[in-house]
Structure 1
């Protein structure tokens, strides 16, 4: 393998030997050591290490899905050649490598890639592999007037490699605005490396005595929390070193002053006979206020300590860190009307999601567009921006007001893919891609993305809620309803939007009384489609007066939806028989539907 560079006037090429095994091993070590390689721990790191080492050992022909499945992911011998776990993890690894080379790896001399269609790695010299001019006075030297064609081959290679890098950089800069929102003049002048997000530290859970099992359980629970909490990307969680430096009875001033932590999670463990007793509390390190506390009791006769430990960690993480959770509520309460920094935009986004309206959509979209202009590597903001663009398409929010020439759905897909590229492990990014794919009628791909995202962070109820909604709309109404009930039990604070979805799922299963109960609790008066769903539910449940009222509101607020009814239903509801049922119920409720509306 050689890397050719155009040479002299005779059209010859200057060749450079391929990277040596030692140089490749050094590059692999660079990648695995970088925090910007999203797979620096876990499957992606193991996968990459395996294929590189097999290649260097001369066994490239063995790098196939079958052997990777067995030797990397522990699949049983005799598994199928098209094991989906290998394909899924290969895609994740490719995205992780792309992210690395956009960040820490920009100046690395060697690129390692896994081309699509296989798993055998390639190793190429990057532009930055050209050796720099050295010497104390090199910056002050005048340009050499020696003709290019008569210069030594090595010098010609350096010059051309430098030109290559310059052309690549210029092209990248020229193309970059086309794939991301255009920054405003003020935003462009105020670009910061990363946005402000709340910081949480975890004090080692205390061993409250009265049993030999309490101490290892307390250590294990702390470790479990250090694993589950960082999966929420709207939060910065300090690592194990910070946790170990805090006493079991935490010093709030130390956490705030030395670690910069705004919030501190602490607790204790007591095991008596066959009972496990765990306490947990979240504190504001500035005021000392206990924002949340909870007690978890469990029976060791019915469940193991490990199972209890995992369950408690998941429940604590969900309560504290999820959207609409304790930290989000505390930060939202402290917002001022003029607070428009990037993190404040994400809080406003969740407020908008809980009660969608045209007015709040405008404010959130503009805020997020400014946020991604200031912080072009902020995956969460790109994901949220994607979802607000998606709402232009599916809810007709400010559809005509947009000055962008690209269709809203196309902008949503672009922003979602950018979010996933920036951070493949960000569940909000995966959620945005799931939504954009689903509304693009790529239903199977959308649900596959949702399933993958659920494995990344099964405690993220915002993701889980939308996944449950799309499950139902794909035709699996019963399973979708089950997921939505779990979401509402874990996260009642974000209940409006998902109660409406659960109401629709109950309607589709013929449970009209339950559907009516759910839609009354949703109460999304500024959301046009809420009135359409309420109208069909009340019509089938026999609430004629309620159905007529909601039908009139939907006819007024959802005129754009009704004008393209069959197309709009097809974009959301996968099965034709489900769409026909909704149409029939709308007519029963008193909604006037245009006679000729063709499905596109």
Structure 2
């Protein structure tokens, strides 16, 4: 019998992974794999060798490395993150590969070419709570680098790490934190010009920090913030930035004055959420984005069963500071109809997290989660509208295996949503949008879209839906006005290319082809693989007689959507009033 002794040694362990890897692969699986391999082989691996480390293995979305010195490990991590930031400078936000890095020093088990043990597990868990582009280290590691690394780590306090028995103190490095006040933060989209302040109190709610110690609870923290944004937006005398623009700052070290400048708001709300042991705690602080002064801060705690009451408390507290004179009717309006089943609400939050990914896989997962939520709470109107929108998008985006089934489900669900709740602006907006593509009752859809923006003039979703409804109904001027309002509600939205392209389509129907080209190019700078933007350019160039550019745009369209045909697009719905658009596509030589 062979005596197989386990080899142990003390080492510094570095674990790295790619933030949002599933979203990136959903957008471009092969391209993401190639770019990650280039970053590992061209940047991370050489830096590890230079700092006397050893790459133990490449994982699917990152790597594991071992160092004899934690000082070497931390210096290496800083160089890797700086190198990644430089390489990402010219890459669109939606395609950026950003590492999260965790470092711990501890005992490891060595088995042939791999390492195991608590030391490795802790490094991996620290990586999980690091910010994209940031570094998180254990207290043991921090003690050893103190005075030896010329950069300051920020104390995160005690953290509950998944599958680690005892809470651990952790420290983080935000790579942008050393920038001088007022230095430009990394722009999520191409434009960084200051926006004029609206003529009423204006506010943006930044993503709250998830303090639960479990990265899988991120959806809950994000959902709480979204509910607060929705409630605030019901106050018609406020101007509230939409969720998607606020969330472009997630995981970044931000200068509040710069956030205010970029979003065109006076106030910024930030905070944290902790969900543990059947309770939810929210801390929040309201900051004047012009002066940087803290106006208000407070902490709220409730039982998990009172989560909606907690959201309302935070909303009313914030609004009370901005506008002391509150009316009970407005507070009542700001409190949306709540789902009766908390598990259904939990599934809804998870569904929305998938919905915002805008990928085929994300759409499928949203539908699955939304239907499960609806089974648990059949009177949850907004989740019925969400499920109906997903079935519609399945058809319009060409993902449907059985388009006829998805059409019927979309119509059934939109009718169900309206029968449950015909007074919620988000529900009405989703129903109007779904109906515009699937039904085509323009008079009814316009009425619903108008009602949605009247109920909530701060809703990006309502204004964007109204733009599509009016465009599909053959009213391009009104569509452009709606898209412009939507863009102001969410000026750095990662999905802004959709509203900009919708404007481009409407401009074509008004024979404003030069402006449509500007819109199409702007949309493609934000998302080069967005096929509708290529359609916009192909049609606009064709109408201007710029044949070579029209053919090039048509070729690019077929590269990103090889099965595209004009008749297939018409069959998916919503193109009956896009006569000049369809004519332009035919002139550009696209297949019928």
Output the TM-score relative to the length of structure 2: 0.42
Q: Which has the higher strand share?
A: 2
Indicate the structure (1 or 2) with the bigger Cα radius of gyration.
Answer: 1
Output the TM-score relative to the length of structure 1: 0.42
